[in-house]
């Protein structure tokens, strides 16, 4: 008897050999370019519709820095558990951590690009204190975005299971 795909029950299931790779820097760069385009468009549209430059809440920057600390701590504790202590991690937890790392890396790149473009929109008017404040906040947020991306990559690297130690040479 065969199933709808034509396989017989006696056939063994295929072995999964694929590996999930760490998000490459160029993917993060593409996310940053997309974020820069979105950030610039938002500044242009809001300024043209309202006649005033958009503001950036300081709480957003604070939350980004808290995200940096959170993802970096996840990366540190996961690396310690998997690579230093060689302790077992449940598969579902490892997958969740890997997904968090990938999402953090791409989101960090996007946010960094968006905030750089947002801040650069005010560079020609830094003599106005309110716009200088917005550009400064955007710079702090962009640095946090880059660090979120770095921490996300570190978390992904920490999720890779190390190869078993080679066997000790036989005593003579």
167: pLDDT strictly greater than 70 = no
pTM recorded for the entire structure: 0.81
> What pLDDT score was predicted for residue 161?
79
CA–CA dist 3, 5 (Å, integer): 5
Spell out the alpha helix ranges (H) of 19-57: 25-50
Question: How far apart are the C-alpha atoms of 100 and 23, rounded to whole Å?
Answer: 12
Q: pLDDT-derived band of residue 29, with 50, 70 and 90 as boundaries?
A: very high
pLDDT tens digits along 103-159: 999 999 999 999 999 999 888 888 888 888 989 999 999 999 999 999 999 999 998
CA 95 to chain centre: 15
- Stretch (H or E) spanning 93: helix 91-120
d(CA 139, CA 94): 33
């Amino acid at each position: 008897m065969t199933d709808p795909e034509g396989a017989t029950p006696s056939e063994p299931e295929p072995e999964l050999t694929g590996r999930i790779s760490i998000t490459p820097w160029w993917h993060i760069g593409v996310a940053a370019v997309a974020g820069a385009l979105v950030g610039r468009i938002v500044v242009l549209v809001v300024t043209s519709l309202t006649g005033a430059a958009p503001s950036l809440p300081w709480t957003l920057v604070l939350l980004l820095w808290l995200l940096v600390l959170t993802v970096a701590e996840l990366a540190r504790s996961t690396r310690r558990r998997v690579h230093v202590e060689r302790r077992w991690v449940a598969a579902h937890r490892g997958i969740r951590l890997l997904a968090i790392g990938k999402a953090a890396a791409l989101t960090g790149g996007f946010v960094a690009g968006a905030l750089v473009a947002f801040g650069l929109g005010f560079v020609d008017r830094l003599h106005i204190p309110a716009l200088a404040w917005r550009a400064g906040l955007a710079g702090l947020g962009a640095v946090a975005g880059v660090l979120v991306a770095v921490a996300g990559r570190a978390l992904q690297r920490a999720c890779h299971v190390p190869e078993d130690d080679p066997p000790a040479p036989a005593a003579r």
